Amino acid sequence: MAPTVHTLKSFLSGAGRFALVRVAGTKGSTPREAGTWMLVSSLTTYGTIGGGQLEYMAIDKARQILGGRSDSSTMLDVPLGPEIGQCCGGRVEVEIRPGDDALAAALICEAEQEDAMLPHLYIFGGGHVGKAMAAALALLPVQAIVVETRANELEGMAPGVGTMLTPMPEEVVRAAPAGSAFAILTHDHALDFLIVAEALKRRDAAYVGMIGSKTKKATFRSWFVKVAGGSEEEFLHLVSPIGGEAVRDKRPAVIAALAAAEIMSALASSHEDAAEVRARPNRKAASGLPARHG
């Protein structure tokens, strides 16, 4: 994904006057949650509050405010029913206020924090499937990095995707942040095995996937347990073949799309699990039980 801060700065640099459109409150079924925001200038927009007539109404109102040179904010209370041709059935309060330098600086700071918190996805191998996977993930909220031992295979990657050239890709696994995802699809089965073995030792990995067949997976299992010192429990965390077997289509773009969905599901699940763990002491404190330290 192209870092949020870069695209935001690009919008702000050419926007001139702009307005912040923010979902201030919701009731019932709505396209987006409270706190979601977008920016509107006289010619373009950045972000979305859910699309449809709600968004069109908000954009129109924002441009009216910008055209009138008003510095005051306004609030829209919009029922999402047949009256506006949107059938969510809920209700949305939308705040619209003109932007200024202070707001722009605050939004950039927030975007920098969001970029820093994006999960890391390491794609080992920049061949046909690696490039296709990089392209599939370029617009998703992850920091995708293609790792290769061959410099020429790092050429032509999708914009916003990082690249790393290294003779020892297993060291990248060791240095990766907690919660990272690893997709292993190099040109060499022995290298795949080495990288997967390192990744499976990471108990904090959100996803470890290897391209290949059932035979390749079985061969890896035997080597991993008997030679590499791995355990059956660790082996169970391996996803192979990546992308599942429900769709039997081996074209790189199809494998990449299926694997991207699989990886994003794993990252979301890992994020939810981590959030639940962080919330446990607060729940105990709220119930009158002492918070657990350490």
Residue 87 or 51, more confident: 51
Task: State the Cα–Cα distance between residues 149 and 168, nearest whole angstrom.
Answer: 7
Residues 123-134 pLDDT 10s: 999 999 999 999
For residue 31 the two structure tokens come to 């396209």
Residue 215, pLDDT score: 94
156, 168 contact by CB (below 8 A) = no
Does the domain at 119-274 match CATH 3.10.450.40? Answer given as no
Average pLDDT over residues 66-76: 85
Q: Measure CA 143 to chain center.
A: 7
Residue 68 or 144, more confident: 144
pTM above 0.85, yes or no: no
Residues 203-223 pLDDT 10s: 999 999 999 999 999 999 999
Q: 224 phi and psi, to 5 degrees?
A: -65, -45
Residue 289, Cβ density class (10 Å: 0-12 exposed, 13-18 middle, ≥19 buried): exposed
Residue 84, pLDDT score: 75
Q: Report the chain's terminal Cα–Cα distance, integer Å.
A: 35
Could you tell me the pLDDT band of residue 275, with boundaries at 50, 70 and 90?
low
Domain assignments of the chain as residue spans, ordered by start: 4-114, 119-274
For residue 117 the two structure tokens come to 């918190």
**What percentage of the chain has pLDDT greater than the value 70?**
89
Is the pLDDT at 70 greater than 80? The verdict is no
Average pLDDT over residues 267-284: 63
Of the candidates 158, 143, 137, the residue with the CA atom closest to the CA atom of residue 257: 137
Run of H or E residues at 160: none
CA distances from 221 to 30, 195, 196, 277 (A): 47, 14, 11, 31
Scanning the chain, the segments in alpha helix (DSSP H) are 4-15, 52-67, 101-117, 128-137, 170-175, 189-201, 214-226, 232-235, 252-286
In DSSP terms, 142 is beta-bridged to: none
Residue 88 or 225, more confident: 225
Task: State the Cα–Cα distance between residues 160 and 285, nearest whole angstrom.
Answer: 42
Question: Before 177, cis peptide (omega within 30)?
Answer: no
Beta-sheet strands, E only, within the chain: 18-27, 37-41, 45-47, 74-79, 91-98, 120-124, 143-148, 162-165, 181-184, 207-210, 238-239
For residue 82 the two structure tokens come to 């047949």
Q: Lowest-confidence range among 238-242, 248-252, 263-267?
A: 248-252
Average pLDDT over residues 133-140: 93
Residue 72, pLDDT score: 83
Residues 149-197 pLDDT 10s: 999 999 999 988 999 999 999 999 999 999 999 999 999 999 999 999 9
Residue 190, pLDDT score: 95
Q: Lowest-confidence range among 30-34, 115-119, 272-276?
A: 272-276
Is the pLDDT at 137 greater than 90? The verdict is yes
Residue 285, pLDDT score: 42
